[in-house]
Structure 1
Amino acid sequence: MLLLSAIILIWPLHFTGGSICRLQGRPELPQFSKDGDIIIGGIFSFHDNLVNVKPTFNVLPESLKCKDINLREYQFAETMIFAIEEINNTTDILPGVSIGYKIYDDCSSMPLAIRAAMSLVNGQDEQIDPNDACTKSSPVHAIIGQSGSSLSIGVATSIRPFSIPLVSYFATCACLSNRNEYPTFFRTIPSDYYQSRALAQLVKHFGWTWIGTIRSDNDYGHNGMSTFLQAVQEEGVCIEYSESIYRTYPREKFLKVVDVIKQSTAKVIVAFTTFIDMEFLIKELLLQNVTGLQWIGSEAWISIESLATEANYRVLSGSIGVAIPNAVISNLKEFLVNVNLQSSPGNDGLSDFWQNIFGCTLTAQNETQNAKMCTGSEKLSEINNQYTEVSELRITNNVYKAVYAIAHSLHNLYTCTKNSMNRTCEKLTKVEPWQVLYNMKEVNITTRNGENVYFDENGDPSARYELINWQVKENMVKFVTIGIYDASLPRGQQFVMNNRSIVWAGFINKVPMSLCSQSCPPGTRKAVQKGKPVCCYDCIPCAEGEISNVTDSIDCLKCPLEYRSNDQRDQCILKDVEFLSFGEVMGIIPAIFSLTGASLTTSIICIFFYYRNTPIVKANNSELSFLLLFSLSLCFLCSLTFIGQPTGWSCMLRHTSFGITFVLCVSCILGKTIVVLMVFRATKPGNNVMKWFGPSQQRLSVLGLTLIQVFICIFWITFSPPFPSKNMRSYKEKIILECNVGSTLGFYIVLGYIGLLSIICFILSFLARKLPDNFNEAKFITFSMLIFCAVWLAFIPAYISSPGKYTVAVEIFAILASSFGLLFCIFAHKCYIILLKPEKNTKKSVMGKMPTKSI
């Protein structure tokens, strides 16, 4: 009705020839103005609300008054002025032509927005020259505005008959792309048509199929949500509820919306609202401590700094949404902070702004104890607020681009770079708004900060969004870019995400679940949510070893012990059987080392046999040496019994052969150590100790010590022998074939006996290491037993912690390492002298004395 009334009032005055045109009502003066050859109009929401006044209908109502200053809109307006001044000061665009401006405040109100538009279109002269006969053209050639879609729709409809281009920097309603309804409308922000689809793909990307939605009760909210619902339902997502909010609603309506959110089962909420409406909703959510929900936001609020406070983060933690890409505008910061009352003639709108920022008053009658007089010399450079903050220039950059788009359209007219309107280029004496409108369709430029600006057939720019996530960094809420959405790319490549950097609602480290009434496929089971309708359930994958092979299964079935579930959890399959085999690298390498060790030992036996009559062989008790070498070859070969599929015989053989051969080996070394000690004692006068430990006693001691281990092994395999077993506990997806030791006590006694002999041998050899002989074998035995004990001490924790076939591999390694250690430490030096230093293989060298020294 308001729009219709305005048109009825204007129409007869505009087309009545010869009549005198008079201004109806009070003149509406701009907040900011400057003369120029070309005038660009601007309409911004410097205030968010109107002061409530109840008319008495007795007197003429006073002008509507505004409240709740919006600092960000002041930044937008100053950015428009900055861009105009930048163009005026360059010769690249419109040389010799100055651009002026007239900027109005609409207080986020439709009546004031249309009134501002009419003021720009008609001018504010009290009376027009009669000679003009009410045919004077519009004083403005283009208008920049507004922040909201509803306001833009009202203004675009009002100025449509005048063919004045309206360029919006923040109106995103897809309805404004209708060229039949809004032929003069352009914008530097993408349409909600693309934003809605980006949000729908975002919801689908994270697997949310049960969501709630909230929209602003205006054109922006209704049209955007309508497009979103259509897109998201095509993706198979269900909507639990869809509520509307508006900043002028009574509190009871907001409380109703909060109750719906609290009682819902959806954990994800898509909010297609303006930031002002969102502020009112968040206030109620904070009062009722409604937190832990995942918010998905439209660009109208998701990147607004005033919302991103520490208090609001309790509700909006981890929020994700689409935002206009951020930008940098050179020298804008300096321009913003250098604005002041003295240097800005015609900028009456700074008064309210100045008083609000500095907490002072410009009029003496308003001076109070809490509000001092403004000096006008206050410095904005010392202020840190939304106006001076330039780290987030997403929407501000759209204002900057809008000014340059209009300027280039005018530049094309003045320079006649195009054959405008299919006419021959002529020098322009006067530019008409319809000419600017025509050239706006042809604009395709790059601004000074590298932004490409052009409009498609609907007056829309290309759609490119940043996907941002609210995160706390350095004790501040930051907008972190986690991906992009580019509608110009081929389908399927438009949406790119990086999930690893996302912070989720409730400070959890995984994607929140939001599902309801969706069938659970085979491989999952239904889990009813406590206190929720039966149609709302989670689909929980069956655990390892369990399957479900029907849709909407209530329980998962366990697979038999020798079976496991497949990756889809819908079928039981045989488990893989694993053991250390000769056919794999882990089995081949130990086998090669085992055969190599046995071959090397056999070679040393041959060397010793060939040089059996030499002093060095005789001096080292050749009989015990040959027996030791024979036992070492058995030690190397016994490791082969640990490789291959375990059987009853192989399990008994591997443990008993290991125990007996190592006792035989250590017994020989112990005998040699005792011989060394006895020989030293025998060299003292009157000492005849060697008769008690001659060759016969040496053989008997080795035999006796070995027989003890043999009897232990016989008892072990008689009463509780080792046996092959299937280990199905260590791994759920495979079976480990291994040898169970049977009697744990028997196994520990066998190992303990070997360890006891090793410790005795080490102690005796350590005591004999300093005996004053040129060739003291006790030194080499000490080193060999030190390595032997170290290997088996390290074996214990490695054996316990190694899983499956690696346990066997560790045991083989210990056998081979200790065997090689004994072989090299005891026999390497002897072979070196026999083969490479034969001059030392003499009785004199072997029997010679040497000074005592530590090893």
Structure 2
Amino acid sequence: MGSDDEKEEQAEDRNPKKRNKATKKKVTRSQGHPRFKEVSLVSDWIQECPGIRVYSFGQPPLRSTTFCSSQCLNKCPTSDPLPILHKYYQTGDLMIAGIMSQVYTFINKITFKERPSAKLFDDPIHFVASWTYHGSMELLSGWGRLIPNYKCGVENSPVAVIGGPNSDICLHMATVLSIYKMPQFIYGSSPMLSNHIQEEFFHRMFPDVAHQYNGILQLLLHFSWMWIGVVTLSDDNGERFVQNVLPMFAGRGICCDYTETFPKLTFSGESMEMVEDGSKTISVIMGSTANVVVVIGEIQTMMVLGIIPNLAETMNMPVEIKAKVWIMTAQMDFTSFSFQRNWDIRFLHGAISFAVHSANHLGFQKFLQKRNPVTEREDGFIRTFWEEAFLCSFEKKDNDLCTGREKLETLPGSVFERSMTAHSYSIYNAVLAVAHALQNMHFSRFKHSVMMDELRGNRLDPQPWQLHHFLRGISFNSSAGEEVSFSQKGDLVTELDIINWITFPNDSFFRVKVGMMNPQAPPSRRLSIHDDTITWPIRFNQAQPLSLCNENCQLGYSRTKKEGKLPCCYDCIPCPEGKISDQKDMDDCLECSEDQYPNSDKDGCLPKDKTFLSYGEPLGISLATFAVCFSSITAAVLGIFVKHKATPIVKANNRNLTYALLLSLLLSFLCALLFIGQPNKLTCILRQTAFGMIFSVAISCILSKTAIVVLAFMATKPGSSMRKWLGKQLASSIVLSCSLIQATICSIWLATSPPFPDVDMHSMTEEIILECNEGSTLMFYCVLGFMGWLAIVSFTVAFLARKLPDSFNEAKFITFSMLVFCSVWLSFVPTYLSTKGKYMVAVEIFSILASSFGLLGCIFTPKCYVILLRPKLNSREQLIRIKN
């Protein structure tokens, strides 16, 4: 399983930027638990080097520790008794070192029940911290000798160390290197350090991880993926994501169906436990309704992810049916191992990953073409990689012999990726950052004439701690023309690319950039993505996948929470009357604005029509026609009475009151026309006040007529004192006093709170009512109340006088007319209050016309009948005869 990871580190070492002749680099790869040496293995060279002191802890075969005195360094062993198998060293004036996890080896679980042996190197995939400590100590030693802090001659310690891609490597090497204030460049996962002092020496070739998590959140929201699964590593970074980031997702409405951890890579003796844990995780992932899985991992996570299709098949869950959209973090990258060579990589098809922004380097392909184990013998990685990649061996005993002339171009993408990955680009920029920092420091020293001895000697001997000041503020352009700079916290200031993975049947794959996350942009523009360029997993038929707990609530519906379920699982209920939902999955339905109303589907608002009782509609035309007709009839009756003013029937009951009554009835009919048409300030003022005044005059005239009839009958009795009350003064006094009272009420109304044009937005669902606001409702009902009081008094007096002996006794007709009048207006009040809009106006017009016509018909129809059709009855003799 280790050889394919060796392939990755080989690709890193083939980077031409790491072979600068002016730089001495030492790359130490840690690969597993250190091999133990027995004391007897050291005893054969003790005699040759008397300066060696040998310390044994306990009994053999426990580990021995050796120290060489300066007098016999030339006789000390030239190799580390606990060797690191894969190294790459190139001489130069300055040294940049690397501690990188590129090779995994199999080892048996250490039980301390048997003698350690070389089998420790033969067998899981477990990186032991001691290897990183070992590698870090070796960087502080002379080349080929593990003697920390000892420098032979002019040999220098590294000026900086590049570590990665695992967070464990960075964490453990910081324990040693931070003591020496060594600049450390992290190009993969950043560890969570509890020691803030160690962070001062970290320079991350990675933007602040919070930007990436925010990018994942924006991506989920962009595609409306509100129901997801989360898989993390069982480490501090995974726990930090679950505790700190997932609550942020929940705050934006995104729910996790599950939060699983990948099976932890452990010793091969526990492989069955790993498979069992992995099967449980796969069962949860594949059984979930969440089509989107967020993977928070590191570079080795891709290897574990590749196991999923194979385990899924054994569990009768074909990947073609259960494919998911994997969203992967930038810390991950494609890796494979020898036992995965023939595995299906189609699980990656349609996946989306974040990556540190990178650019292609023009010389990288030429560099790769020159790499082979024949010309690069000093490279301690390439032979192992070559054997694993081309399935051959450099040992003559094997049938498939490696020639060293095999072509990297023939390898499938799942074995060797020939493009410069984001991780490789980060390492390249890390080397450039050190070079620029050294250059800036050199210029700074030269400018201030510091350390003149070094300058005269034409040699630069910087101390690692001196670089930090220059690294924090460094900014330069890479050979690709892109700016490289760091924040004050030591994070790389850069964008994140959004990558879409596309796989092919020949086990090759292609990364397509489909978007970008720019942390420096305004919040609304940080995420840019091209939906139409994304290739989705095959089972979605190139339609954007949905990832929801249940179907969206459609337009016209709102969500309601299910008891005991996550917020993303809900029921849908129709919007209540008067509300809409114009988007899917709305928590609450919305009310339309005042000038709009919901449509029938309750998914949108329609503009309300402005409405009023107009002359252009049938109702308005009908009422206006009746008003004109009734006013014409009233005018005709008035004309008849004027023409026959000398006849007894006209003179019988105060001719002037008759004229006043007819004239007020004529005006009342015409007054109805003020209520038709669009309201304006003048019509609103005249409507109710004119109506109140005119009707008050009409009723006061009727009251005067009735009172005169009663007083005239009483005055005919012998010795009655009522004769002095008879005359025109009484009638005029009644009419004027009643009219004056009503005029006073109307004046107060107009002075305090007059009617005005208004709009009613709420009474009608689909209409805006243009109306006259009464201003003061109290004053309006005072006007109506006074008219009602006059009507009741008139009706009472007329009712009492209905049986007086007079053939032309108007009391009978007045009684009927007032009965009609009161009936109309008593029914008006509830009808008026129960109607809305223009129909309220129509009810009032109808009441005016009906009550006025009732007075006209009941009082004047009998008289017109006599005047026009029975003129013989219109004589004094006939009147006296019938009266007697």
TM-score (norm 2): 0.50
Cα drift, residue 332 of structure 1: 1.4
Cα drift, residue 38 of structure 1: 1.2
Counterparts of 1:540 and 1:511, CA distance in 2: 23
1:461 equivalent to 2:488? Answer no
Deviations 1:176-224 (A, max 9, x none): 6985342222122223221111111111222233322110112443334
Cα drift, residue 29 of structure 1: 6.0
Structure 2 SS opposite 1:362: coil
1:444 equivalent to 2:444? Answer no
1:165 equivalent to 2:180? Answer no
Counterparts of 2:494 and 2:452, CA distance in 1: 36
Kindly indicate whether the alpha-carbon contact (under 8 Å) linking 2:255 and 2:566 is maintained by their aligned counterparts in 1: no
In the other structure, the counterpart of 1:396 is: 424
Counterparts of 2:391 and 2:542, CA distance in 1: 44
1:185 equivalent to 2:202? Answer yes
In the other structure, the counterpart of 1:148 is: 166
Of 21-30 and 457-466, deviating more is: 21-30
Between the aligned residues of both structures, percent identity stands at 23
Structure 2 SS opposite 1:468: strand
Kindly indicate whether the alpha-carbon contact (under 8 Å) linking 2:306 and 2:347 is maintained by their aligned counterparts in 1: no
Cα drift, residue 352 of structure 1: 1.2
Kindly indicate whether the alpha-carbon contact (under 8 Å) linking 1:268 and 1:514 is maintained by their aligned counterparts in 2: yes
In the other structure, the counterpart of 2:680 is: none
In the other structure, the counterpart of 1:277 is: 304
In the other structure, the counterpart of 2:793 is: none
Kindly indicate whether the alpha-carbon contact (under 8 Å) linking 1:547 and 1:572 is maintained by their aligned counterparts in 2: no
CA RMSD of aligned residues (A): 5.1
In the other structure, the counterpart of 1:52 is: 108
1:412 equivalent to 2:440? Answer yes
Kindly indicate whether the alpha-carbon contact (under 8 Å) linking 1:189 and 1:324 is maintained by their aligned counterparts in 2: yes
Cα drift, residue 433 of structure 1: 2.0
Counterparts of 2:188 and 2:129, CA distance in 1: 16
1:361 equivalent to 2:393? Answer yes
Aligned pairs for 1:517-596 (under 5 A) are 523-524=556-557, 537=569, 565=599, 569=603
In the other structure, the counterpart of 2:525 is: 493
Kindly indicate whether the alpha-carbon contact (under 8 Å) linking 1:547 and 1:565 is maintained by their aligned counterparts in 2: no
Aligned pairs for 1:588-737 (under 5 A) are none
Work out which of the residue numbers 78, 82, 87 in structure 2 matches 1:31. Answer: 87
Letter of the structure 1 residue corresponding to residue 482 of structure 2: E
In the other structure, the counterpart of 1:289 is: 318
Kindly indicate whether the alpha-carbon contact (under 8 Å) linking 1:268 and 1:295 is maintained by their aligned counterparts in 2: yes
Kindly indicate whether the alpha-carbon contact (under 8 Å) linking 1:527 and 1:537 is maintained by their aligned counterparts in 2: no
Letter of the structure 2 residue corresponding to residue 269 of structure 1: V
Kindly indicate whether the alpha-carbon contact (under 8 Å) linking 2:556 and 2:581 is maintained by their aligned counterparts in 1: yes
In the other structure, the counterpart of 2:157 is: 139
Unaligned runs of at least 5 residues, structure 2: 1-32, 35-55, 57-64, 267-272, 590-596, 611-884
Counterparts of 2:501 and 2:446, CA distance in 1: 46
Unaligned runs of at least 5 residues, structure 1: 4-8, 69-105, 556-562, 577-855
Counterparts of 2:485 and 2:142, CA distance in 1: 30
Work out which of the residue numbers 39, 43, 54 in structure 1 matches 2:99. Answer: 43
Work out which of the residue numbers 441, 455, 462 in structure 2 matches 1:431. Answer: 462
Kindly indicate whether the alpha-carbon contact (under 8 Å) linking 1:269 and 1:293 is maintained by their aligned counterparts in 2: yes
Aligned CA distance change for structure 1 residues 517 and 421 (closer, same or farther; 3 Å):
farther
Cα drift, residue 166 of structure 1: 1.6
Counterparts of 1:333 and 1:112, CA distance in 2: 32
Cα drift, residue 271 of structure 1: 1.1
Aligned CA distance change for structure 1 residues 458 and 64 (closer, same or farther; 3 Å):
farther
Kindly indicate whether the alpha-carbon contact (under 8 Å) linking 1:42 and 1:145 is maintained by their aligned counterparts in 2: yes
Work out which of the residue numbers 110, 120, 123 in structure 1 matches 2:129. Answer: 110
Deviations 1:809-842 (A, max 9, x none): xxxxxxxxxxxxxxxxxxxxxxxxxxxxxxxxxx
Letter of the structure 1 residue corresponding to residue 424 of structure 2: T
Aligned CA distance change for structure 1 residues 388 and 265 (closer, same or farther; 3 Å):
closer
Counterparts of 2:114 and 2:335, CA distance in 1: 43
Cα drift, residue 494 of structure 1: 0.8
Aligned CA distance change for structure 1 residues 348 and 497 (closer, same or farther; 3 Å):
closer
In the other structure, the counterpart of 2:331 is: 300
Letter of the structure 2 residue corresponding to residue 512 of structure 1: P
Aligned pairs for 1:734-813 (under 5 A) are none
Cα drift, residue 363 of structure 1: 2.9
Structure 2 SS opposite 1:361: coil
Aligned CA distance change for structure 1 residues 16 and 266 (closer, same or farther; 3 Å):
same
Aligned CA distance change for structure 1 residues 546 and 502 (closer, same or farther; 3 Å):
farther
Kindly indicate whether the alpha-carbon contact (under 8 Å) linking 1:47 and 1:107 is maintained by their aligned counterparts in 2: no
In the other structure, the counterpart of 1:755 is: none
In the other structure, the counterpart of 2:364 is: 332
Cα drift, residue 28 of structure 1: 3.6
- The number of residues matched between the two structures is 520
Cα drift, residue 276 of structure 1: 2.6
Structure 2 SS opposite 1:180: helix
Aligned CA distance change for structure 1 residues 185 and 282 (closer, same or farther; 3 Å):
farther
Counterparts of 1:65 and 1:492, CA distance in 2: 53
In the other structure, the counterpart of 1:103 is: none
In the other structure, the counterpart of 2:259 is: 242
Of 302-311 and 511-520, deviating more is: 302-311
Aligned CA distance change for structure 1 residues 171 and 502 (closer, same or farther; 3 Å):
same
Counterparts of 2:449 and 2:277, CA distance in 1: 53
Cα drift, residue 281 of structure 1: 3.7
1:213 equivalent to 2:227? Answer no
Letter of the structure 1 residue corresponding to residue 479 of structure 2: R
Counterparts of 1:201 and 1:215, CA distance in 2: 19
Counterparts of 2:400 and 2:129, CA distance in 1: 35
Kindly indicate whether the alpha-carbon contact (under 8 Å) linking 1:282 and 1:312 is maintained by their aligned counterparts in 2: yes
Structure 2 SS opposite 1:450: coil
Of 197-206 and 138-147, deviating more is: 138-147
In the other structure, the counterpart of 1:513 is: 546
Kindly indicate whether the alpha-carbon contact (under 8 Å) linking 2:97 and 2:158 is maintained by their aligned counterparts in 1: yes
Cα drift, residue 346 of structure 1: 2.1
Counterparts of 2:603 and 2:179, CA distance in 1: 67
Aligned CA distance change for structure 1 residues 337 and 454 (closer, same or farther; 3 Å):
same
